[in-house]
Amino acid sequence: MRQADVEHDDGPGLPMASLDCKINRERPIIQWMWDKGGIMKRYILLLAALIAIGFAGAAHADNSGYQAFGIDPAAKAGSSVADASKYIRIVSFNIMAASWTQAEKYAPIPADVVDRDKRILKIIEFLRMPRQDGIDVFVLQEVTTREFKTIREALGEGYYSQMAYNAPGYWATEGYLPDPTKWEPNGPAIFASKSRFPDGNQPEFSQHALGDAGNFCITMKVRLKNTNSTLRVFGVHLDDTPTQPDDDQLTMMGKMETEALMRLVGSRRDKVIDVIAGDLNINLGPHSPLTPIFDREKFASAVNVLNVDKVPVATSPYHESPDGVTEADIYDHILVRNARPVYALVRHFGAEALANNDQRAEAFMRAAGSDHYPLEAVIQIDSSK
């Protein structure tokens, strides 16, 4: 559906004047780490900042932490605006819906760190970071109506935006949500830059069911005039998919949703670039039950293609093994068909240097407001470059 077709105002969001005031007040810790160099100076300033705001002794991340694969075209000498038009930059980010974020679930992380109003400030701060103004498409998961409205207002008039709505009660059973009455309308959302897709070339949005359980994806379709091709982006958040063949078949929802997604996407077509971005709740390694499905439909994971040395990658501070990062720790993916990923980046703000799950999760919530790390991919859409 187009953006104008659906308007939901189930939550007030945060007043914009108050929001900007809070972000500007809390911005310096992250901003100076982005701009400044000098190891000793950085640690002295960070320690002083932490003591000043009462965070001393708590877990924290810094802005320098990331894993990158491939070559960022923007970093090449002589790159220009004309060169930038040959690429699409996409970020996928699960922003941790408040419906499933009870403070006791995340103990021993302090409740004020888990608080939704404080986390949304950090999420918006991340979306507004200097590098982010070059992102063409943000694909977000676990977006509630309230957070969608707040993010849309914070980003301003520079983005087209729409979210899909999962069916009432989806992921609201006792196993997911201790108090089902606290379920809120939620789903994936897309924010597309108007500077990349100007008036007269705006995207078309629609939402589609991925099977009968109530999971919906958000889709965006837009014409890329400079390449005479069409870009389609599918924002998804799939249910769990067990990796063991003897697991309960009732929990195979993620695999069934993936097959429904493939039916929606359809066969590979000339001049149509397809991108699937989101939280798949599973890795796409050689043992994943989803890997053969995406291989069959000619989709390639940006990280898998570019991570030629097979370096362990995590997209969440919560690792499956206490012994370190394993293949199982990458849940979030950007998959591409009919185009070539040239760069991928997982930004963890230094959380991966910390010792355990709780420390990493607290640090990243303080830095960017979620229990998932954002994943960025740069996709080459013009093979002439």
CB 367 within 8 A of CB 61: yes
Does residue 40 sit within a domain?
Answer: yes
pLDDT score at 35: 45
Computed from CA positions of residues 157, 158, 160, 161, in that sequence, does the dihedral angle turn out positive or negative? negative
Question: Can you tell me the distance from the alpha carbon of 365 to that of 105, in angstroms, rounded to the nearest whole number?
Answer: 14
Does residue 350 sit within a domain?
Answer: yes
CB 216 within 8 A of CB 161: no
pLDDT score at 32: 38
Does residue 324 sit within a domain?
Answer: yes
CB 379 within 8 A of CB 275: yes
Domain count, the chain: 1
Q: What string of DSSP letters covers 332-378?
A: EEEEEESSEEEEEEEE-TTGGGSSSHHHHHHHHHHHHSSSS--EEEE
pLDDT score at 244: 61
Nearest to 287 by CA among 252, 256, 241, 325: 241
Residue 4, exposed/middle/buried by CB under 10 A (0-12, 13-18, 19+)?
A: exposed
pLDDT score at 243: 59
pTM of the entire predicted model: 0.83
CA dihedral (372, 276, 91, 385) in degrees, to 10, reads 140
pLDDT score at 75: 83
221 strand-pairing partners: 204, 232
Does residue 125 sit within a domain?
Answer: yes
Question: Can you tell me the distance from the alpha carbon of 195 to that of 141, in angstroms, rounded to the nearest whole number?
Answer: 23
pLDDT score at 13: 47
Does residue 229 sit within a domain?
Answer: yes
Q: What string of DSSP letters covers 225-260?
A: TTTTEEEEEEEEE-----SSTTS-GGGTHHHHHHHH
Question: Can you tell me the distance from the alpha carbon of 217 to that of 258, in angstroms, rounded to the nearest whole number?
Answer: 11
Question: Can you tell me the distance from the alpha carbon of 112 to that of 187, in angstroms, rounded to the nearest whole number?
Answer: 24
Question: Can you tell me the distance from the alpha carbon of 315 to that of 348, in angstroms, rounded to the nearest whole number?
Answer: 8
Per-residue pLDDT of the chain (385 residues), as tens digits, is: 333 333 444 444 454 445 555 545 444 444 433 444 444 444 443 443 333 333 334 555 445 699 999 999 988 766 666 577 899 999 999 999 988 888 888 999 999 999 999 999 999 999 999 877 789 999 999 999 999 999 999 999 999 999 999 998 787 776 677 677 778 999 999 999 999 998 888 999 999 999 998 999 999 999 987 788 999 999 999 998 665 655 554 448 888 999 999 999 999 999 999 999 999 999 999 988 899 999 999 999 999 999 999 999 999 999 998 888 988 899 999 999 999 999 999 999 999 999 899 999 999 999 999 999 999 999 999 765 4
CATH code: domain of residue 261: 3.60.10.10
Does residue 385 sit within a domain?
Answer: no
CB 139 within 8 A of CB 148: no
Measured in whole angstroms, how far is the alpha carbon of residue 123 from the centre of its chain? 10
Q: Which domain holds residue 311?
A: 3-380
CB 170 within 8 A of CB 212: no
Instruction: Characterize 266-280 residue by residue with b for buried, 16 or more Cβ atoms within 10 angstroms of its Cβ, and e for exposed.
Output: eeeeeebbbbbbbbb
pLDDT score at 174: 61
pLDDT score at 359: 97
Pairing of strands 340-347, 66-70: antiparallel
pLDDT score at 297: 97
